[in-house]
Structure 1
Amino acid sequence: MTSSEAPADGIPPRPVVGRLPRYAAGKPPAAVEGLASYKLSSNENPLPPLPAVVEAIARQQDFNRYPDPLSSRLREALAEFLDVPAEDIVTGAGSLGALNQVLATFAGQNDDGKPDEVIYAWRSFEAYPISVGLAGAESVRIPVTADGRHDLAAMAAAVTARTKVILLCTPNNPTGPALAAAETEAFIRSVPSSVVVVIDEAYQEFVRAADAVDGLALYRKYPNVVVLRTFSKAHGLAGLRVGYSVSNPGLTQHLRVAATPFAVSQIAEKAAIVSLQNFPQVVERVQMLVDERTRVAAGLRDLGWTVPDAQGNFVWLALGAESTRFADLAAARALSVRAFPGDGVRVSIGEQEANTRFLQLCADYTKPSGPS
């Protein structure tokens, strides 16, 4: 083989890449004759961006220029909206991009060759193990409780001298429950202040639990807390990839070093700003989805299904070994849902007709008898 020829099976990546799970995005719905197809597999907002946002996007023309690497206008708008200093905000390509910046900054492979540890609940956001592994750190997964909640006591007990970051996903994706304020603060107090605690609030606008945690309240009290939020869900801007973290200067001074330059395009920044300026309309749309979520969850329980407390824009069916079969049945009805084989099925709240069809599927569903 000459120096210009690559091996037939390609160039091997770093060993860690071969050990990582593959991120499986929600599949588009299959076409079924006579039925409108609906995608309920990616926790997307089924509604388009606000009209004012669409108009602002149409007017944008400066794509021959690089965007502001600091997203200064968006950070100023968020600072006023959230009542936090703009210096405490670091933008990223969605909340996942912001998370990757946190991990790149605070968790990875050390000079002695030993990896840091990152603790998170499982099952939780599917990208966590991928992001942790690529950062060079080691995942410590703590199983969720039977009702889909974080086992905070077990997570606290898992902290070691190598623990550098803890991820709290609230509401938890894909199971749905949100963390309570009191339990979260008690947890933060129980772990070393040198451990970065990330409160991932991608679905914060959908939460209606009276006792739910407010990440920003804890960021104001604890210097080791980082809050992640995004414009992908409530604002309907998933395709533009704009999110951010909020943390104290002791953290942001380092996060800016790891931040990906130009991660947020000027079109994404403008869209996010205009959406913030019209936030009352966002709230109205979110409430429509929350009302549908309430209808779906209540309908499932009326049918005898056990559904964890749904505080995001999705519901969770703990179908275990039947997860893939259920997803196939949904596909036959022109519905795409997100199966996690062996664990369960996550179904996003979508259009009213889609939600009604999903409920009908659940009414008709019969689990096979005998061992699964």
Structure 2
Amino acid sequence: MSEVDIPMSVNVPTRAALKSIPAYKPGSAPQARPGAPAYKMSSNENPYPPLPGVLDRAQAAAAQANRYPDMFSTALIERLAVECGVPADDVIIGTGSSGVLQQTLLALCEADDEVVYAWRSFEAYPIMVGLTGARSVQVPLDDHARHDLAAMAAAIGPRTRVILVCTPNNPTGPAVSRDAMVDFLDTVPEDVLVVVDEAYHEFVRDPDAVHGIDLYRDHPNVMVMRTFSKAYGLAGLRVGYGVAHAPISTAIRKTAVPFGVNHIAHEAALASLDAADALNIRVGHLTAERSRVVTALTDQGWNLPDAQGNFVWLATGERTDAIAAALGQEGISVRAFSGEGIRCSIDSAEANDALIAALEPHVSRRGYRH
């Protein structure tokens, strides 16, 4: 037996909170099939490569990998401040919007505090809340897979520190309306931070959808999060940002991992902002494909909630695991939430056609709750 194979008894205890925190489940890769294509539609990734000019700038940045990056992402912060029309001091850079969220919860929450959010929503929410020692207060979505803001308002208590609003909601798709959100904010105490998670905001086509930056301008307790992972196609580089009023932004920056956003990601994000015209074209293609997929699945008999992200939601209930497995046999990986539903990314036209064809045998003419 080699030295590395010697069994050891580890007696160092870990935090008790970890026992109740679920593990994050990334989207699975598709099963390879000899002589047949396979499609990963499980992670809401952009099917396009990085925007024009981004790889050249990223490759040039890689030549400086022996040096630490600018810990404060100064150039990106200044650029985003101009793009968003906000003070540079209010912009926070992190490792994707998920990184910004974790920093935010660490800055605001302590043991026995509460964080209110809709459920089902982004899978990382209960994990990140639990890591702070705070408690998740999950409010069920309504019958259209939307946020039930009235119920969320009723769930606010004396220990509530943060409210998370994912719009468009991942994994179900609908966006929160502007008017509903304004009315909701009138019920939220001024000492509770409302985080508007807009990871998919570039894909929104609903004219009544809320725009987080507008809320931030009018409410000192509103924060907005966005990412370069989805529309910009930089999921593998992990860079996102938040916008929050000081002193909240100052506190959030204190919780960052030093040099967490690397120089390659920083430069790729800057180059992506320079390619706004190409971004709009690509997002236009993806939203057109989304509409085509929604129409095709609706014609089959699926009852879909309003899709405003780069994905669609199928409320498959107890058949979820079986349908996901059947799609896997067809070389299509999707994100299955056992007992609830399936989220399918909008991908290339070829992948979307394969998904439509593979789902047809599984449609229920009885419809679904959502």
TM-score relative to the length of structure 1: 0.94
Partner residue in 1 for 2:3 = none
- CA shift for structure 1 position 65: 1.0
| Residues 63/117 of structure 1: CA separation in 2 closer, same or farther (3 Å cut) | same
Q: What SS class does the counterpart of residue 186 from structure 2 fall into?
A: helix
Cα offset, 1:153, TM superposition? 0.4
CA distances 1:306-332 after superposition (whole Å, capped 9, x unpaired): 000000000000001111111111111
Structure 1 gap ranges (5+): 110-114
Counterpart amino acid of residue 113 in structure 2: D
Deviation at residue 6 of structure 1 after TM alignment = 9.0
Match of residue 50 from structure 1: 51
Q: Quote how far apart the aligned CAs of 1:368 are.
A: 12
In the alignment, which residue of structure 2 is the partner of 1:100?
102
- 1:349 partner letter: I
Deviations 1:229-271 (A, max 9, x none): 0000000000000001101113112112222221111110000
- Give how far 1:33 is off: 2.7
Q: Write the deviation string for residues 288-341 of structure 1: whole angstroms up to 9, x where unpaired.
A: 110000000111111111000000000000001111111111111111000000
Q: Secondary structure at the match of 1:354?
A: helix
| Residue 182 (1) aligns with residue 179 (2) | yes
Tell me whether 1:136 sits opposite 2:159 in the alignment. Answer: no
Q: Distance in 2 between matches of 1:366 and 1:189?
A: 42
> Which residue matches 1:82?
84
Matches within 5 A, 1:20-39: 20-39=21-40
Distance in 2 (CA, whole Å) between partners of 1:136 and 1:236 is 33
- Report the Cα distance in structure 2 between the residues aligned to 1:78 and 1:235, rounded to whole angstroms: 14
C-alpha deviation, 1:84, in angstroms: 1.2
Counterpart of 2:156, as a letter, is: V
RMSD: 1.6
Decide which moves more: 277-286 or 208-217. Answer: 277-286
Match for residue 316 of structure 1?
A: 313
TM-score (norm 2): 0.95
| Closer/same/farther in 2, CA of residues 149 and 211 from structure 1, 3 Å limit | same
Which SS does the other structure have where 2:278 is aligned?
helix
Letter in 2 for 1:30: Q
Equivalent runs, 1:1-372 vs 2, <5 Å: 8=9, 11-60=12-61, 61-109=63-111, 115-365=112-362
How far the C-alpha of 1:10 sits from its partner, in A, is 6.3
Q: What residue identity is the alignment partner of 1:153?
A: A
Aligned counterparts of 1:161 and 1:84: Cα–Cα separation in 2: 31
The one-letter code sitting in structure 2 at the alignment partner of 1:285 is: R
Can you list the C-alpha shifts for 1:320-371, whole angstroms capped at 9, x where unaligned? 11111111111111110000001100000011111011111122225699xx
Aligned AA for 2:298?
R
The 1-side partners of 2:195 and 2:7 are apart by 41
* 3-state secondary structure, aligned to 2:236: helix
User: Is the 8 Å Cα contact of residues 203 and 231 (structure 2) preserved in structure 1?
Assistant: yes
Q: Secondary structure at the match of 1:100?
A: helix
* C-alpha contact (below 8 Å) 1:35/1:333 kept by paired residues: no
- Letter in structure 2 aligned against 1:49: P
Q: Percent identity?
A: 49
For residues 280 and 8 of structure 1, the distance between their equivalents in structure 2, rounded to whole angstroms, comes to: 58
Matched residues in 2 for 1:323 and 1:359: separation? 16
Give 1:112's aligned residue. none
**Could you tell me whether the CA contact under 8 Å between 1:231 and 1:272 is conserved in 2?**
yes
CA 1:33–1:71 in structure 2 vs 1: closer, same or farther (change >3 Å)? same
Counterparts of 1:10 and 1:315, CA distance in 2: 46
Name the CA distance, whole Å, in 2 between partners of 1:19 and 1:6: 27
